[in-house]
Amino acid sequence: MGSSFGTVFKLTTWGESHGPALGVVIEGCPAGIPLAVEDIQYELDRRRVGQSKVTSPRDEKDRAEMLSGVFEGVTTGAPISLITYNKDADSTKYENLRHVFRPGHGDYTYQMKYGHRDHRGGGRSSARETWGRVAAGAIARKILAAAGARVYGFTREIGGIEMETFDECEIERNLVRCPDPVAAGKMVDAIDRIKEEKNSLGGVVEARAVGIPVGLGEPTFDKLDALIGQAMLSIPATKGVEIGRGFAQSRLTGRESNDPFEIRNGRVRTTSNNAGGSLAGLSTGEEIIVRVGIKPTSSIEQDQSTITSDLEPATVKVVGRHDPCVVPRAVPVVEAMLANVLADLYLRNRASRIDWPDQE
């Protein structure tokens, strides 16, 4: 009862990690947008595992099929259904996890909520569900492109190592998607070390949106910030989200915090952007800046104390090809969710004003 996100541009994901298939239905995509399955596959490939040595070597064969909503290469306004089959997923290796609750995972909470769960690879709680979010995000990006806007993202921090320089061109040039090549090198080393220790690392992803029109956001509960909060904290393994300066802004004074308005190049701008592109929950036209804290991968190949579903003490070691650090792969997911929020608010915003006919 919570598998949908969005009001006008609405996505509904379905599927389990080791079920026959998984997918997403996107409602509310306007008619008239050129859309090919390759547009979507491009983003899916950025999310896919097995991209590099720092991520899982498993090949999920995330090939998308587009089954509806597009006719002769253009969207029709009907729901767009995207699906990928889970080929070759070997679930026998999860048999030993059937009756044991892995720490840091949803095994225990799902068992308690539903009384019955698909234990294979996390089932519904698996990060594999983000496939559909990224697929929808590719369509959201198309909608935003029509408005002249785009979204991008990068790794800001891994294992406590923070980027110090920013060059957007560097992002996709290194394994960890960090805009600072020096920091990227340190991050890769840190991941290599933690992998040997059969442990894992977390980090911080940042996403930004450029060219967003002023006024996106629906007061008071569907403010831009609020929907970003929901979107980001619905991604597996996330534990925090910030807009603009975020928590650091709490330590400024009002004088330092307020972004003064000015006219720059003929447009209304702010001289600083502490607010991260949002005032009173509406976009300001400045760059939207979001940071998301990702916890370290819960699956580690070490003995951990836990209990069984019969409430007996047990030890569990999670064997398998898990990412020692999911942060680089989380980048396209965070971007996609930001795009999904913005596309929805962009379409919703069309209803915010009416031109009242002159009273002659």
- CA 288, distance to chain mean position in Å, is 15
What type of residue is 33?
Answer: I
Site track 275-304 with a second copy (rule: CB under 8 A), x = hit: xx--xxxxxx--------xxxxxxxx-x-x
For a second copy, the closer of residues 174 and 200 by Cβ is: 200
189-192 own/partner pairs: CB under 8 Å, 24+ apart: 190/158, 190/159, 190/161, 191/54, 191/158, 191/159, 191/324, 191/325, 192/53, 192/54
For a second copy, the closer of residues 31 and 182 by Cβ is: 31
Using CB under 8 A as the binding rule, whether residue 79 contacts a second copy is answered as yes
Considering only 48, 105, 177, 208, the residue that binds a second copy (CB under 8 A) is 105
For a second copy, the closer of residues 90 and 256 by Cβ is: 256
Using CB under 8 A as the binding rule, whether residue 206 contacts a second copy is answered as no
How near is the Cβ of 169 to a second copy at its closest, in Å? 25
- Tell me the CA distances in angstroms from 200 to 152, 301, 331, 332, one per residue in order: 26, 10, 17, 20
Choices 41-49, 52-60, 169-177, 307-315 (CB under 8 A): range interacting with a second copy: 307-315
Site track 124-143 with a second copy (rule: CB under 8 A), x = hit: xx---x-------------x
Site track 162-191 with a second copy (rule: CB under 8 A), x = hit: ------------------------------
- Taking the C-alpha atoms of residue 107 and residue 89, their distance in angstroms, rounded to an integer, is 19
- Taking the C-alpha atoms of residue 152 and residue 318, their distance in angstroms, rounded to an integer, is 33
Considering only 200, 331, 339, 342, the residue that binds a second copy (CB under 8 A) is 200
Q: Which of 257, 260, 241 is nearest to 249 (CA)?
A: 257
Size of the site for a second copy (CB under 8 A): 154
Q: How many CB atoms lie within 10 A of CB 158?
A: 30
Considering only 88, 164, 265, 353, the residue that binds a second copy (CB under 8 A) is 353
